Amino acid sequence: MTSPSVLIQNLHTFGLPIYAERVVTAESSEQLVDVWQQAKQQQYPLLLLGEGSNMLFLEDFSGWIVLNRIKGIKISESENFWHLHVGAGENWHQLVRYSLEQNLGGLENLALIPGCAGSAPIQNIGAYGVELKDVCEYVDLLNLDTGDIARIAAQDCQFGYRESIFKHQFREGYSIVSVGLKLAKQWKPVLNYGDLRQLDPQTVTPMQVFDAVCAMRSSKLPDPKVTGNAGSFFKNPIVSAEIAAQILQQFPNAPHYPQIDGQEKLAAGWLIDACQLKGYRIGGAAVHQQQALVLINQDHATSHDVVALASYVRKQVAERFNVWLEPEVRFIGKFGERNAIEVLA
Ligand code: FAD
Ligand code: EPU
């Protein structure tokens, strides 16, 4: 077998110099099934890719990459809701902007999240008090072996914090082909996070929330077009009340968010920051100065640099706080996805 020869540095937001065997663009379900069958016949692993904004490639990928670029946005209405049927390959932020231009509020808190609309349900994207599950009506899922498309209602998607059924039961052999969103005609602003609290719920418009979210994000998160990154590298850890209490005794100001089952969600960025790791660098990879939860490709980083840095950060936080962070980013090895915790251990 020859070594992979197609450079995919621009197809994932970390911008690492990674090669794959082949890159194919699919604009329909039929094309997706066709490529899947060809790859199977020729015994190549196949990786679906949106915009590569939640990926860490650990090494060159000895398989085919399929970019899902199924397009189209259809809007319909019922008595109380607007319904959007969106092709999986639409860009998420452009969809948010387009919906606001049509005077449909509801997606504004999720502005500027990179990636495709079809990837949004996979980790139930969330920001500034809203998650995809709050606006999702259904997900259309293609079985790549049979060509059948099943409509999964939102209540059956097992949405949780950065979680869904698409990371488990429907992870292999399926592609999301479209997403159905449901936006209430009676718009209610969600203003319970950060600077959004300063807005007046009586007079604020969806576009003003959108602008405020874009301003907050731009001040903290690096633009992947300028500095490679994959957003929050780790998830915010959910810990027992006892562990949270131990941390809070020492640091009463540590951010913490009570969960319904008595556990507490901690801010991973705060934990990393408290270990004085902002700006810490291994090779070309570094902890972002404005947001410690984001690992960046500061200067020609390799996958090895990012893994070494992530592993170091994780161990420092565990030593100091007795909390082991779990990566949010998906790790991709030579033949497909790897268990991120095993890679960092
Ligand atoms: P990819 O990274 O290309 O793929 C993600 C996973 O989905 C992979 O396993 C891939 O194989 C699989 N996949 C892709 N397309 C399909 C498909 N059609 N069917 C089935 N499987 C598929 N996330 C948040 O939740 N909130 C944030 O605020 C946020 N901010 C971010 C900020 C920055 C600067 C960056 C770089 C990332 C941020 N993220 C955030 C993470 C990322 O944007 C989301 O996870 C996004 O949904 C990933 O979309 P993508 O198209 O790039 O997916
Ligand atoms: N904090 C620090 N130092 C830091 C970073 C954060 O002290 O270096 C503190 C902040 O001051 C704040 C708390 O930690 O009190 C939380 O920080 P922030 O509001 O920036 O949010 P986050 O928890 O770090 C999460 C999501 C983001 C999402 C934002 C806004 C996860 C893993 N990350 O970040 O999502 O945009 O909230 O809602 O849940 C992503 O998933 O890729 C992502 C960027």
235 CB near ligand 2 (under 6 Å): yes
Q: Per-residue pLDDT for 1 more than 60?
A: no
For residues 23-34, average pLDDT: 98
What is the mean predicted confidence (pLDDT) over 103-122?
Answer: 98
Which atom of ligand 1 is closest in space to residue 131's alpha carbon? 25
How far apart are the CA of 282 and the centre of ligand 2, in A?
22
- Residue 48: which residues within 8 A CB-CB, separation 6 or more? 66, 68, 175
The predicted model gives 10-18 an average pLDDT of: 98
Q: What six digits make up the tokens of 93?
A: 């932020």
- Calculate mean pLDDT across residues 32-46: 98
Check if 115 has its Cβ closer than 6 Å to any atom of ligand 2.
no
pLDDT in tens, 152-181: 999 999 999 999 999 999 999 999 999 999
d(CA 46, CA 41): 11
Catalytic residues: 162, 232, 328
pLDDT 10s digits, 203-227: 999 999 999 999 999 999 999 999 9
Half-sphere exposure for 344 (CA within 13 Å, toward CB): 25
pLDDT band, very low/low/confident/very high, at 3 (cuts 50, 70, 90): confident
- The residue to mutate among 119, 216, 221, 234, having the most atoms of ligand 1 within 8 angstroms of its beta carbon, is 119
Confidence band of 85 (pLDDT split at 50, 70, 90): very high
| 232 pLDDT more than 70 | yes
Cα(219)–Cα(291) distance, rounded to whole angstroms?
A: 10
Q: How open is the CA angle 199-121-72, to the nearest 5 degrees?
A: 90
* Among 336, 311, 278, CA closest to 39: 336
Per-residue pLDDT tens over the stretch 114-161 = 999 999 999 999 999 999 999 999 999 999 999 999 999 999 999 999
Looking at the CA of residue 110, tell me the nearest atom of ligand 1.
28
Distance of alpha carbon 167 from alpha carbon 64, whole angstroms: 20
284 Cα–ligand 1 center, Å: 23
> Which residue among 109, 219, 235, 270 is best mutated to probe the pocket of ligand 2, counting the most ligand atoms within 8 A of its Cβ?
270
Has residue 80 got a pLDDT over 80?
Answer: yes
pLDDT > 70: percent of the chain:
100
* pLDDT of 12 strictly over 90: yes
Mean pLDDT of 279-299: 98
Whether 270 is in the pocket of ligand 2, judged by its Cβ within 6 Å, is yes
Check pocket membership of 266 for ligand 2, CB cut-off 6 A.
no
Atom of ligand 2 lying closest to residue 234 CA: 32
Residue 205 near residue 106, CB atoms below 8 Å: no
Q: How far apart are the C-alpha atoms of 90 and 69, rounded to whole Å?
A: 7
Ligand nearest to the CA of 220: 2
The pTM of the whole model exceeds 0.75: yes
- Write out the two tokens for 271: 């934990």
pLDDT at 311 over 90: yes
User: Ligand 1 pocket by C-beta < 6 Å: which residues?
Assistant: 13, 47-55, 68, 88, 113-116, 118-120, 122-123, 125-127, 175-176, 221, 224, 229-231, 330
pLDDT in tens, 321-333: 999 999 999 999 9
* Contact predicate 179/86, CB 8 Å: yes
Q: What is the mean pLDDT of residues 81-86?
A: 98
Q: What percent of the chain has pLDDT over 90?
A: 98
Pairing of strands 149-153, 73-77: unpaired
Closest C-alpha residue for ligand 2 atom 29:
127
Atom of ligand 2 nearest to the CA of 125: 41
Q: Identify the band that residue 90 occupies on the pLDDT scale cut at 50, 70 and 90.
A: very high
